[in-house]
Structure formats: structure tokens, C-alpha cells
């Protein structure tokens, strides 16, 4: 098939760019693929002073991996939208694959969807998130207006499939778990007595770091240490004050800043358990990354986490926004350190969380007749 994938690619930072790269790499093996990435994702006004590009990733080396990859699209420049629509028309694909995760893309996507519809080109949405983690009524209305433009979609949790069917009952929605994210292999971890907990990634209020810190305060008699590694969206000092006020500074290390892909392995190698104490969520690439390193996950029972975690096998699920429940989950890992978590994860993810199986699902959706 001739396929077109639109989305950020490295050297753009973050999990979405990694998602698009790993998917494109799998599709490139099977199909004639056109990848249309961004010259600029977000204007500085929206992204603040934080860099959008990973300086350790060379764009030319990424481009060399693909037969047909361009970095021309600008989310804030309608002229680039027109060029993108023309490039797709010239390529004449069997389908265009559109990742969806934040409502910011609504104006550009609506333009492209109208252009593709006029040319009779099939569109498949890959919904990494249906609704944003921090949404509101306007964001939900815009999301619905975009996703109603096409019936073909793939989501990464059963909850999100139901959410789509509530506002788009004619949609043909497939559910496929988020595939494993692979990053550079780490060095073997040094032997240690303490249980090493890792909170990784962007620190935002909905991710529940405050709850995890309160849980740590309930474990003062235990050999448990926590490493927080990631970029604070805001309120870094608030968390540092909380650590000091709880008296847990000796057991909590904060590594502030974006962690490049080349350095991620040392953090996940260090960890015994990756913790996601989220107050709300749908899916998370952190789970897929942890599994990629063979690390179990302690997470709250929110969104699609229950689909992605084999409770008692690949990790543990606890109630959200509950420090005591989270502390009990940590104690469970202390008491079950001899379990073969890596083996459990391999068995759990072998068939249902691979990029090959996601590519299979995409092919099946695209081959399905229109209704």
C-alpha cells in the first residue's frame, strides 16, 4: 500500500515524536510510506521557553532512515498546510494516518481533512489521547468536531473506545494497546538494598507527584528511595517545599530537566519500579517505556491503565489520589521483590503491545470497505 503518516519525528522531543518514529519505522518495512513531519510544532507563545528539539538527535540521520520524509509542516502557518495537502495529493496514498493527542491541532487537521475528503483519500485517526488530560468544554467540542470527520480510528484503551462511540456512534473503532517504546540499552544496575522508585517524565499537576510524596512520608521505616526525573511544567518549588516539609529529603532525589533519549536507560536501569500516581489519565507512554526495559509499574486505576497493566504480574494497580493506597502498593513490591517481573512483562506484551501488531491493525482498518 501507499501510506502517508503526518506527525512529529525526532529530533522533536517527547513521547509523541518517539511514537511516530517507531510506527514509521515499522510501516517503512512493509509499504511505500510518505512521512510528513514538522518544521515547527508549536509557536513559542504556547510552548514557553522550553526547547522543542533534542540537541542530541541529528535530523539528517533520522531522515536517512526513510525513503520519503520531509520536515516542512508548520502548525501555525496555513501556507504549509496547503503545501502538505498538495504533497499528499501528488503522492496519492491509499490512506493518511493522523495521530491525535491535543486539541491544538484542530484548525490544521480540519483544513487537511476537508482537502483529503475532496480528493476521496481515506483517513485513519490514531488516537493517542481522545481528550486531553487537562480538558474543558471547548476542548471537548473541538475534539468531537475533528474526530467526527472520519469513521476509522484506533485507540489505546477500552475507555477511549467507549468515549468515541458516545459522540460518534457510527465510528469503526479498534482498540490496540500502546506498543513498547525502545530506547538505548542501559548498563546493568548495581546491586542495592533499597527499593528504587522512579517517577519519570514531564511533571504536571494531574500526574499526582504530590500524592506520591505523601505516600513516601508513610514509609519512613522502609528501605525505599524515590528519584524524580523530568521537566517541571510549573511549580517546581512547590514540590521541593513538600519534600522538605515531609522530612523525606534524604530519600528523594530530584533531577530537573528534560532527559534525552540517550540517557533514559540509566534511569530505568536504576529503577526497580516505575510509579505513575496519576489523578487522571487515559494512556501513558511511560508504561510502554518501563515495559521496554523490563520494569514493573505501580499505577493508579485510572483511564486505560487497567488495560495496560497485569495487576500482580507486570505491576500493581491502586486507587487514585490516595497516599495510603499508594504506600500499600509500594509495600507490596517490597514484599514481592523475588517475582519474575521481566518474564511476566514479556509474556503480557509479546503479542498485544508490539509495533508489528499495531501495523497489522492499521492495515486491517485501511483495507476495510467504506460504509
Domain tally, the chain: 2
Pair 53, 20: CB distance under 8 Å: no
Q: Which of 8, 3, 10 is nearest to 28 (CA)?
A: 3
199 and 172 housed in the same domain: no
186 part of a folded domain: no
Q: What is the CATH number of the domain that holds 16?
A: 3.40.50.2000
pTM, entire model = 0.86
User: Which residues fall within 8 angstroms of residue 323, CB to CB, at 6 or more apart?
Assistant: 211, 212, 214, 215, 217, 218
92 part of a folded domain: yes
How much of the chain is helix, strand and coil, in % rounded to 5? 45, 20, 35
- pLDDT, residue 371, reads 59
Q: Is 60 exposed, middle or buried (0-12, 13-18, 19+ CB in 10 A)?
A: exposed
Alpha helices of 56-183 — where are they, by DSSP H?
59-63, 78-91, 106-118, 137-147, 158-167
Per-position DSSP letters for 214-229, written without gaps between them:
HHHHTTTTS-EEEEEE
**Could you say which DSSP state residue 207 is in?**
G
User: Which residues fall within 8 angstroms of residue 57, CB to CB, at 6 or more apart?
Assistant: 10, 11, 260, 261
State which residues form the domain around 25: 2-179+354-367
130 part of a folded domain: yes
189 part of a folded domain: no
127 and 143 housed in the same domain: yes
132 and 204 housed in the same domain: no
- pLDDT, residue 49, reads 59
Longest dimension (CA), the chain: 66
7 and 94 housed in the same domain: yes
What is the grid cell recorded at 288? Answer: 510502554
18 part of a folded domain: yes
174 and 235 housed in the same domain: no
- pLDDT, residue 5, reads 99
- Under the phi-then-psi rule, with left for phi > 0, alpha for psi from -120 to 50, and beta for the rest, what region is 303? left
- pLDDT, residue 48, reads 57
- pLDDT, residue 186, reads 67
- pLDDT, residue 46, reads 65
- pLDDT, residue 282, reads 76
255 and 205 housed in the same domain: yes
- pLDDT, residue 132, reads 84
190 part of a folded domain: no
Split the chain (371 residues) into runs of 10 and give each run's mean pLDDT.
Answer: 97 92 97 97 70 86 96 95 97 98 95 96 96 86 95 94 95 94 74 94 94 95 92 89 96 93 90 96 88 95 92 97 98 94 92 92 89 59
Q: What angle do CA 237, 243, 245 make, to 5 degrees?
A: 100
Chain centroid, CA 317 distance in Å: 19
94 and 139 housed in the same domain: yes
What element of type H or E holds 318?
Answer: strand 315-318
Measured CA to CA, the distance from residue 325 to residue 317 in angstroms comes to: 9
Pair 320, 138: CB distance under 8 Å: no
360 and 318 housed in the same domain: no
Measured CA to CA, the distance from residue 87 to residue 84 in angstroms comes to: 5
312 and 297 housed in the same domain: yes
187 part of a folded domain: no
Alpha helices of 278-322 — where are they, by DSSP H?
285-292, 305-308
267 and 126 housed in the same domain: no
232 and 332 housed in the same domain: yes
160 and 281 housed in the same domain: no
106 part of a folded domain: yes
Amino acid at each position: 500500500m501507499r501510506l502517508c503518516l503526518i506527525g512529529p519525528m525526532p529530533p522533536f522531543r517527547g513521547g509523541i515524536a518517539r511514537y511516530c518514529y517507531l510506527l514509521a519505522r515499522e510501516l517503512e518495512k512493509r509499504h511505500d510510506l510518505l512521512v510528513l513531519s514538522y518544521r515547527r510544532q508549536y509557536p513559542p507563545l504556547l510552548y514557553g521557553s522550553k526547547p522543542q528539539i533534542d540537541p542530541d538527535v541529528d535530523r539528517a540521520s533520522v531522515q536517512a532512515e526513510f525513503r520519503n520524509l520531509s520536515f516542512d509542516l508548520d502548525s501555525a502557518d496555513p501556507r504549509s498546510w496547503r503545501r502538505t495537502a498538495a504533497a499528499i495529493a501528488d503522492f496519492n496514498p491509499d490512506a493518511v494516518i493522523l495521530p491525535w493527542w491535543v486539541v491544538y491541532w484542530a484548525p490544521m487537521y480540519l483544513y487537511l481533512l476537508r482537502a483529503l475528503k475532496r480528493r476521496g483519500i481515506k483517513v485513519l485517526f490514531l488516537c493517542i489521547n481522545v481528550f486531553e488530560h487537562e480538558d474543558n468544554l471547548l476542548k471537548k467540542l473541538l475534539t468531537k468536531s475533528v474526530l467526527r470527520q472520519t469513521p476509522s480510528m484506533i485507540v489505546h484503551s477500552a475507555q477511549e473506545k467507549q468515549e468515541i462511540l458516545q459522540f460518534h456512534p457510527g465510528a469503526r473503532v479498534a482498540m490496540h494497546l500502546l506498543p513498547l517504546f525502545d530506547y538505548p540499552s542501559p548498563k546493568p544496575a548495581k546491586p542495592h538494598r533499597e527499593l528504587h522508585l522512579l517517577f519519570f517524565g514531564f511533571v504536571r499537576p494531574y500526574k499526582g507527584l504530590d500524592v506520591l510524596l505523601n505516600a513516601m512520608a508513610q514509609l519512613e521505616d522502609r528501605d525505599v528511595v524515590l528519584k524524580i526525573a523530568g521537566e517541571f511544567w510549573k511549580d517546581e518549588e512547590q514540590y521541593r517545599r513538600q519534600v522538605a516539609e515531609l522530612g523525606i529529603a534524604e530519600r528523594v532525589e530530584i533531577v530537573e530537566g528534560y532527559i534525552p533519549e540517550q540517557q533514559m536507560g540509566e534511569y530505568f536501569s536504576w529503577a526497580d519500579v516505575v510509579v505513575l500516581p496519576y489523578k487522571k489519565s487515559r494512556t501513558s507512554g511511560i508504561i510502554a517505556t518501563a515495559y521496554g526495559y523490563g520494569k514493573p509499574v505501580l499505577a493508579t486505576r485510572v483511564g486505560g491503565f487497567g488495560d495496560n497493566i497485569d495487576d500482580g504480574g507486570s505491576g500493581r494497580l491502586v486507587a487514585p489520589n490516595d497516599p495510603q493506597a499508594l504506600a500499600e502498593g509500594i509495600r507490596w513490591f517490597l514484599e514481592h521483590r523475588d517475582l519474575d517481573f521481566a518474564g511476566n512483562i514479556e509474556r503480557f506484551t509479546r503479542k498485544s503491545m508490539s509495533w508489528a501488531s499495531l501495523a497489522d491493525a492499521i492495515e486491517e482498518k485501511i483495507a476495510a470497505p467504506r460504509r
